[in-house]
Amino acid sequence: MGEMDTIVDGGTGPVPFDAPLLEADQERYEVQEELGRGGVGTVLLCVDRQIGRPIALKVLRDPGSDPREGLARFVREARIQGQLEHPSVVPVHDLATHDELGVYFTMQRVRGVTLATLLRRLQGGDQDSAVHWSRRRLLEAFGRVCLAVDYAHERGILHRDLKPANIMFGEYGEVYVLDWGLAGRDPSAEESERPKGFDDEMTRPGVVFGTPGYMPPEQVHGFHDKLSPASDVYALGAILFELLTLTPLHAGDTPEARYASTIGRLDARPSSRAPGAYVPPELEAIVVRAVDRHAEERFPSARALQRAIERYLDGEQEEEQRRKLARRHAEAAHDALEELRTDPDDRPVREEILRELGRALALDPTNQAALGALVEVMSTPPRTVPQEVRERHQRELDDRLRKVARAAMGAYASMFVYLPFMIWAGIREPWPIVWLYVGVGVAFVASLMCTRAKERPQRYAMVAMLFSNLGIAATASIFGPLFLTPAVLGSNTAAYALHLDGVKRWIAVGSAVVLLLGTTLLFFAGGIPGGYAVEGGALVIASGSVQLVSSVYALLLVLGMGVVLTGSIVTSQTRDQLVKAELSLHVQRWQLAALAPTRV
């Protein structure tokens, strides 16, 4: 993970050290092996012969260029650590001198793995570590670290060197904050809260101490009077960033590079720095606040940081329960899906699947299994349309038919406009005209009843269609059955046929064909007045019911425009309905595509 050593730079002058140390029992501790070695001290595994237990004994190995100053720091570490009686602070048993070992202090021997080692394993893809140390477990342990640091803060002590290497996780759930060698007084603490029995020589101007990459900006600048609990909160935030992303907050191979990163305007959002780690927004907000460049914008205490983590974990625990329930419902849906693949028309099974999927997605909208199953169900409609769907669809068809009936009423009413013209031109045979307007009048009334019918409007539409076609057939007495009648008859029939279903549609088409054929036969048989004649290469129309005058052209124009408009309007409405239906299908398809998991 690129762990860097602690740096102490710039200390000058002697450090007062007047507290005497007692001489130890020279035979009490039996040295067995070396456990570890740091910059100035060595930790030995010893046996306390008096009590009969293993202990860790730390001796001053290298006091540095000024032995008196190095000795003072060593003693200060023991005294600070000894004053912090907390389960996450390794207890100090003894501080004394030894003829061979020199100054030493003894501690409880702890076993475990440092967070730095654990993060290296996780970064290397160690599966055992990944299984044993879930993100939740790491966050719970991190929360206990925060509480231990807060305990020290409440006693006026700042750690000032928090980093993954100084955090240890024990074999049985223990959490330890190690190495209090750089700990010092909190300048912001009340005098009564400050620890007793040591001097803090590193707070003199010019002294830079800590670990690059974990020190806050005020510590990097050497503003020791500005250090506060928020300074340790910054280090905890840097550790939290690394714990979540497995990458350091401040990258760089040298202290100078990490100093520059700390002082500069760094993007601390895990989502942008390590998008593959998938850090939830709630945790990201916690990290960003903890490592804010300005101390007053950070969490005011390590306990506040721990509470933020705890709130997230409480919410995550509830969310995990919801995800478990969602998985259970999704599995039930998948089991039933096998039956549906065999029989798509099994309605109870389909309803059960949709209920289970609805519950699963209500609990966890991101459940991929439920989303995939939902897409499959929606993409596999039943072969037999459910009765409720049929009824709903029929209601929509009836509404459309009522709209057609309203338009037909206008068209039938407009045909009465032609009556004065025919009377003015002169009526030769009245019964075809009576036939025409009786049929149109009955069709008008039937259309009116169709618009008002709450149920089964198709029966009135059928009456309107049949009588209107009968009336239209009477126009064969004016221009013959082959000139205008087929166009008007076809336009009228098409308007109804588009909105009738099944047998009724074929009755509409069949009745129009029969009427056209019957009218043509009657016309040429003399049953309908009028006739056609070919004279000099021209077709001569002899009207049998109306006297044709020169103004008949206007009548033909109006009739022709009526046919064109009727056909165009019906076609346009039909097209609009089809486009609307297609758009609805495309919208549904788009929604399903957005709903579907990426792997489906």
Q: Which residues are catalytic?
A: 161
- Reported as half-sphere exposure (CB side, CA atoms, 13 A), residue 92 has a value of 20
Question: Does residue 509 contact residue 391 with C-beta atoms inside 8 Å?
Answer: no
Distance of CA 59 to the CA centre of its chain: 56
Distance of CA 595 to the CA centre of its chain: 10
- What is the rounded CA–CA span in Å between residue 344 and residue 333? 14
* Residue 264 CB burial class (10 angstroms; 0-12, 13-18, ≥19): exposed
- What is the rounded CA–CA span in Å between residue 160 and residue 185? 10
Structure tokens at 134: 């879930």
Alpha helices in 453-502 (DSSP H): 458-473, 476-479, 485-497
The closest of 467, 475, 469 to 433, measured between CA atoms, is 475
DSSP 599: T
Decide: helix, strand or coil at residue 198: coil
- What is the rounded CA–CA span in Å between residue 118 and residue 101? 32
DSSP 89: B
- What is the rounded CA–CA span in Å between residue 401 and residue 451? 8
The DSSP H or E segment spanning 370 is helix 368-379
- What is the rounded CA–CA span in Å between residue 531 and residue 421? 21
What type of residue sits at position 530? Answer: G
Residue with tokens 């030493």: 104
- What is the rounded CA–CA span in Å between residue 92 and residue 25? 17
Decide: helix, strand or coil at residue 14: coil
Paired strand residues for 402: none
Residue with tokens 């549609």: 505
Sheet strands (E) in 99-160: 102-108, 112-114, 157-158
Question: Does residue 284 contact residue 309 with C-beta atoms inside 8 Å?
Answer: no
DSSP 25: -
DSSP 546: B
Structure tokens at 261: 């990163």
- What is the rounded CA–CA span in Å between residue 344 and residue 225? 75
Residues with Cβ within 8 Å of residue 44, at least 6 apart in sequence: 31, 32, 33, 34, 35, 56, 57, 58, 59
User: Maximum Cα–Cα distance for the chain, whole Å?
Assistant: 147
